[in-house]
Structure 1
Amino acid sequence: MHDTIAQASKKTGISIHTLRYYDREGLLPFIERSANGNRLFNETDYEWITVLQCLKNTGMPLKQIRTYMDWCMQGDATLKKRLALFQAQKNVIEGQLKELENYQRIVEYKINYLKGRINGTEVKSLSRF
């Protein structure tokens, strides 16, 4: 079963414009075309899009994602390169998580500070923001 680009956009939450851009940039290498040239999306394409969005949303540049896609097209000879890429991205994500946990602590501290101010109990804060 194949979906149109509009259906793919709705399923993925990615704009039609962005899906076309990804296709033009070679980031969706298996997209089929109908007889009249329309892009047709299948389950394999959605799997590629999921990985692409994961890498993009965790900060990987599109150029590096394109390199990954090229490696995938080359087959098993690039398995070690792909593994290294994902291990490096995992390290990036772990750093992002630590940073987010720190931000969460700051937000929680400010919530407690503001609740204390509202309730009339004094809680020391570094600032009054």
Structure 2
Amino acid sequence: MRYSIQEVAAKTGLSSYTLRYYDKAGLLPFVARNTAGYRIFTDGDLVLLHTIMCLKNTGMAISDIRRYIDDVMAGPTSIADRKALLTAHRAKVLAKQQQLTENLREVDYKLGLYAAPDAVTQVQGELAAARADKAANGLADPYPAS
């Protein structure tokens, strides 16, 4: 199948503007143009675009995505480079995932604290401890009076 930029925008949830930006940034060298100069996408292009979106959504820099696409366009001789790039990116994604997991634990802890029957008492205890810590270190109390 062949798709216009508007159809691809509707299929992917990306705006036409974003698709044009990706093209200008060198991320879509595989997209052909018709005689009028309009971008024409194919099903294969959508597969690569899905990969680009995945890499972008997981925090890969545009310059690294461009490097990956350049490697894809170079063919099988670049498999080692692609593997190295994706391996490094995977490590970053896993580290971010671990950080998110730890942050989620803290959010869940706080939600549990605020849902507890003695939430007011617990929060007052945390505030008292924070005030005592400030006082013990000779610092001003930044907390509003209750």
TM-score, normalised relative to structure 1: 0.88
Task: Output one character per residue of 1:4-23: Cα deviation in whole Å (capped at 9) or x when no partner.
Answer: 11110011111101101111
Is the aligned partner of 1:36 residue 2:39? Answer: no
- Cα distance in 1 for residues equivalent to 2:118 and 2:126: 18
Moved over 2 A (4+): 119-128
Amino acid at match of 1:59: G
TM-score, normalised relative to structure 2: 0.78
Identity of aligned residues (%): 35
Backbone CA RMSD of aligned residues = 1.9
- Cα distance in 2 for residues equivalent to 1:72 and 1:49: 12
| CA drift at 1:50 | 1.1
Task: Output one character per residue of 1:55-98: Cα deviation in whole Å (capped at 9) or x when no partner.
Answer: 11212111111111111111121111110111111101110110
Amino acid at match of 1:120: D
- Cα distance in 2 for residues equivalent to 1:31 and 1:126: 58
Query: How many residue pairs align between the two structures?
Result: 126
Is the aligned partner of 1:26 residue 2:26? Answer: yes
Structure-to-structure mapping, 1:2-17, within 5 angstroms? 2-17=2-17
SS in 2 for 1:37: coil
Closer, same or farther: CA 109–41 of 1 in aligned 2, 3 Å = same
Structure-to-structure mapping, 1:7-86, within 5 angstroms? 7-86=7-86
Unaligned runs of 5+ residues in structure 2 are 131-146
- Cα distance in 2 for residues equivalent to 1:126 and 1:86: 44
SS in 2 for 1:41: strand
Closer, same or farther: CA 76–126 of 1 in aligned 2, 3 Å = farther
Unaligned runs of 5+ residues in structure 1 are none
